[in-house]
Structure 1
Amino acid sequence: MKKLSAVLVTLFTYVVAVLYFYPVFWMLITGFKKEGDAVQMPPSLFFNPTKENYQLIWDSGVVSFFSNSAVVTLTSTLFALLLGVPAAYVLAMFKLKKAEDILFWFISTKFLPAAGIIIPIYMLFKELQLLDSLWALILLYTAMNVPLVVWMMRSFFKEVPHELLEASRVDGASDIRTFFQITLPLVRPGLISTALLSLIFAWNEFFLAVSLTATSAATMPVHMASFMTQQGLFWAKMSSVASIAVVPALLLGWFTQKQLVRGMTMGAVKG
């Protein structure tokens, strides 16, 4: 019975994995279809593959959009970690009177939908001459991810025994040295998972990018939306450019899956 239950659980896991991956698989193969085959009803797995969609995407300057997304995502994630990790460390390791209020303030910044603040942000960036610039998105994505970094990293820092910090202070280590040489290496899985989630959120963000950019700083999601026209939806071309946009996230998740799982389960006990 134990072997049978193990086999059934394994089969169920594979079925769930296939169901979750099937939309991605369908998107990948649709990118190699002609537009007529992409909208064929009922859909078919059998077709004559073509590379013309990817050739058109390449000619449309997808490299510049891809590089914009990469620069904005990597830079904003780095800034979010630089700001959020020390804040999370202080909130987790030091007794602050208003710690709970500070945490609530961080999470409260996520309550308001982006559509509710886009007009003042647009007017402010217009005055600062930051419209259609990478720095506009970097600043906004950094602000968007800092609350995520603070809340996640605080739960990971909570897992570190305070006895280690006390022992390091007894040995004469400064707070900065304790942070970099003792605490931070212990929460590395959590740091990796936090960074990965920040990267994904910044890479996929669409609303702010389409509202504040035009051509110079447009990102991959904005480029994908350009294939939704008055003439209709170009499913094959949208699938091809979406496949290009999805590949970095898939590869990053694949190569960091062990660290991601360890990080996500590391802070599951304490909040």
Structure 2
Amino acid sequence: MARNVTPARKWMFTILAWGITFVIFFPILWMVLTSFKTEAVAVATPPQFLFFDWTLENYHEVQARSDYFGHFLNSVIIAVGSTVLGLVVAVPSAWAMAFQPAPRTKDVLMWMLSTKMMPGVGVLIPIYILFQRLGMLDSRTGVLVVLMLMNLPIIIWMLYTYFREIPAEILEAARMDGAGIWDEICHVLTPMAVPGIASTMLLNIILAWNESFWTLNLTSSAAAPLTTFIAGYSSPEGLFYAKLSAASTMAIAPILIMGWFSQKQLVRGLTFGAVK
């Protein structure tokens, strides 16, 4: 039986939701506004919210000082490449766990997910030494592989939950029609799980794009993504808030735009199989 909700209650929850949204979004809004201020206005007391002389000087200076498009290209290659490579490994793994389960499959999944709880700094030294000896420091390939391995448990876990929602009888019918393992995965399972795969891909691109610990420690210039680009504006001479805000805005703008236009697909994928 449906529960009646009064208009006053609806308004109360709507105002509460918008209030929480504004609190969460306000730091981003403040950062964007600060990027259009001069350094003097950025540190002025009391702070000036909207009524100040807007300027694009910070963006011009950031672009002149740093190779933004080079860092942007590195971020795209690392984020998309690590996600695609992770999907190549995770799809067959999740298929095996979902449709050919072993007695302790869930324990294996929990163990894989538990590796995300370990601080990255705990394995930094051995990975850094390994990369140094292999000549992979400051290389896109090295960072791409590391981020793929770091996010692989999440990719497998998400795909496993999506694949479990697909009736096994459909795959059995494909086998009876003569489909091999790869035909079953590529031509039957994958097309049916496109919403889940798409949302997994989007989420992991965001995670890889925002990763700073590994990119700051394993890259310096040639393979440096936008996270390293931002860190370059924190100098011993002090924090230049306006320029740092401009660099941060330029770094997050692409992923914010992608998330905005793909939010429908992301929500659809994250709720895939939730309603029977």
What TM bracket, shorter-length normalisation? Answer: over 0.9
Aligned to 2:61: 56
Between the aligned partners of 2:158 and 2:128, the Cα distance in structure 1 is 30
Q: TM-score, normalised by structure 1?
A: 0.93
Can you list the C-alpha shifts for 1:206-262, whole angstroms capped at 9, x where unaligned?
A: 111111111111111111111111221111111111111111211111111112112
Asked whether the equivalents of residues 78 and 140 of structure 2 are also in contact (C-alpha less than 8 Å), the reply is yes
1:117 alignment partner, one of 117, 120, 123: 123
Aligned residues: 269
Aligned to 1:141: 147
Code of the residue aligned with 1:100 in structure 2: it is K
Aligned to 2:22: 18
Aligned positions of 1:166-185 closer than 5 A: 166-185=172-191
Between the aligned partners of 2:195 and 2:247, the Cα distance in structure 1 is 32
Can you list the C-alpha shifts for 1:142-187, whole angstroms capped at 9, x where unaligned?
A: 1111111001110111111122222323333333223223322222
Code of the residue aligned with 2:237 in structure 1: it is Q
Asked whether the equivalents of residues 103 and 151 of structure 1 are also in contact (C-alpha less than 8 Å), the reply is yes
1:35 alignment partner, one of 35, 39, 49: 39
Code of the residue aligned with 1:57 in structure 2: it is V
Q: Tell me, which stretches of 5 or more residues in structure 1 are unaligned?
A: none
2:164 alignment partner, one of 158, 170, 188: 158
CA RMSD of aligned residues (A): 1.8
Asked whether the equivalents of residues 76 and 139 of structure 1 are also in contact (C-alpha less than 8 Å), the reply is yes
Aligned positions of 1:79-90 closer than 5 A: 79-90=85-96
Quick check: 130-139 or 4-13, which moved more? 4-13
Asked whether the equivalents of residues 152 and 267 of structure 1 are also in contact (C-alpha less than 8 Å), the reply is no
State, as a whole percentage, how many aligned pairs show the same letter.
39
Q: Tell me, which stretches of 5 or more residues in structure 2 are unaligned?
A: none
Code of the residue aligned with 2:81 in structure 1: it is T
Between the aligned partners of 1:267 and 1:202, the Cα distance in structure 2 is 26
Between the aligned partners of 1:181 and 1:9, the Cα distance in structure 2 is 45
- What displacement does 1:36 show? 1.1
SS of equivalent residue, structure 2 residue 220? coil
SS of equivalent residue, structure 2 residue 117? coil
